[in-house]
Amino acid sequence: MVRVAILPAVDSPLEMREIDIPGPGPGQVRVRLAAAGVCHSDLSLSNGTLRQPVPAVLGHEGAGTIVSVGEGVTHVAPGDGVVLNWAPSCGSCPNCVLGEVWLCADAFAGAGQPYARDAAGKQVYPGLSVAAFAEETVVAAHCVLPVPDGIPLTDAALLGCAALTGYGAVHHSARVREGESVAVFGVGGVGLAVLQSARIAGASRIVAVDVSPEKEALARAAGATDFVLASATTAKEIRRLTEGHGVDAAIECVGRAVSIRAAWDCTRRGGRTTVVGIGGKEEVVSFTALEIFHFGRTLSGCVYGNCDPSTDLPVLADHVRAGRLDLGAMVTERIGLDGIPAAFDNMLAGKGGRTLVVF
């Protein structure tokens, strides 16, 4: 039996339980978790913003050690450290053929397949296909990637979501160039990765925006040159900091209509606004036809940082080893499984950066 944090029903509290996980079948691996990050997407899964069959073991940002492998698995072996990949590409759908592996049509197929049973014999589903809020998990072999050399397992967990998403938002979606100005809305786990990645890209001015004044120190440590407290005048304040022009790129990591609109409003004419945050369908953003023409801005969504983990993980590892990317600095609290519900509450209250479950 394996101890897990389980979501028994949508919009209900997580429960700590023990469930029976079978050994890996053909094309599967069993992983003993070292650490798992608590991401806002887990909160979105729990409250129904994102769909997930239940009961489910949530958690998708994690790293651990291979315990055993099923028939046909050759790229990893027992004892190997691995990063969980919650959005594996199939390689054959139209998006994968186009090279847009982050939009794979089959990436979440595993989330709809039961992978274990609880003590009462009821089927349990793996949150986002990987079920990382658990001492151990069984996943498809293409859901794991070897941990790059020199990266501690607990830090490597952040490579599975926050670091990849933040890095990709800057380098693949917003395409920030040296000397440009950037505004980052939301200083949570992903926002901190965005700030560090903007610094790595050589941005000249990096403005962090958050509702919590306590986030300023975190933001500046990650690379922010300025901090703006979110308000009705946020866009005006950012334009003031950029001589009235607005930033070259604004990256929204919250998923709220008001912050998406503010990110758009603070972007210069011809600039880029990138939305990383996942909002609900009730969050409606409106634009006039005239302003779209007049400002000539680009508004784009960003899924998983528009990354291909197989090629981007080694790049991130190089930045970590060189001291340019500090994964540990993104973590503001380390907890056990029992602390996840409180971590959800802190996220709702806008507190802290990334919370890490350490096993």
**Is pLDDT above 90 for 337?**
yes
Burial of residue 34, with CB atoms counted within 10 A of its CB: 0-12 exposed, 13-18 middle, 19 or more buried: buried
Position 120 pLDDT exceeds 90: no
- Return the bridge partners of 299, or none: 273
**Average pLDDT, rounded, for the chain:** 96
Alpha-carbon dihedral 39, 44, 50, 54, rounded to 10 degrees: 90
pLDDT of the residue at 82: 98
Bridge partners of 334? 356
Amino acid at 4: V
Q: What is the pLDDT of residue 201?
A: 98
Q: In which band, very low, low, confident or very high, does the pLDDT at 160 lie, cut at 50, 70 and 90? A: very high
pLDDT at 164: 96
User: What share of the chain in percent tops pLDDT 70?
Assistant: 100
pLDDT at 300: 97
Alpha carbon dihedral 319, 82, 50, 329, in 10-degree steps, equals -40
CATH number of 166-303: 3.40.50.720
Q: What percent of the chain has pLDDT over 90?
A: 95
For residues 110-130, average pLDDT: 93
Tens of pLDDT, residues 180-202: 999 999 999 999 999 999 999 99
The tokens describing 300, both together, are 């784009």
Model confidence over 28-81: pLDDT tens digits?
999 999 999 999 999 999 999 999 999 999 999 999 999 999 999 999 999 999
- DSSP H helices in the chain: 40-46, 94-97, 153-156, 162-168, 189-200, 216-222, 234-241, 257-265, 289-295, 309-321, 340-348
**Whole-prediction pTM:** 0.95
286, two tokens: 């409106």
Give the tokens for residue 310.
């197989």
Class of domain 2-160+326-358: alpha beta
- For the segment 272-297, what is each residue's pLDDT rounded down to a tens digit? 999 999 998 999 999 999 999 999 99
**Domain ranges within the chain, ordered by starting residue:** 2-160+326-358, 166-303
How would residue 153 be classed by pLDDT, with cut points 50, 70 and 90? very high
What average pLDDT does this structure show over 132-148?
96
* Helices vs. strands in the chain: H and E counts, helices first: 11, 18
Separation of alpha carbons 355 and 352, rounded Å: 8
Model pLDDT, residue 119: 85
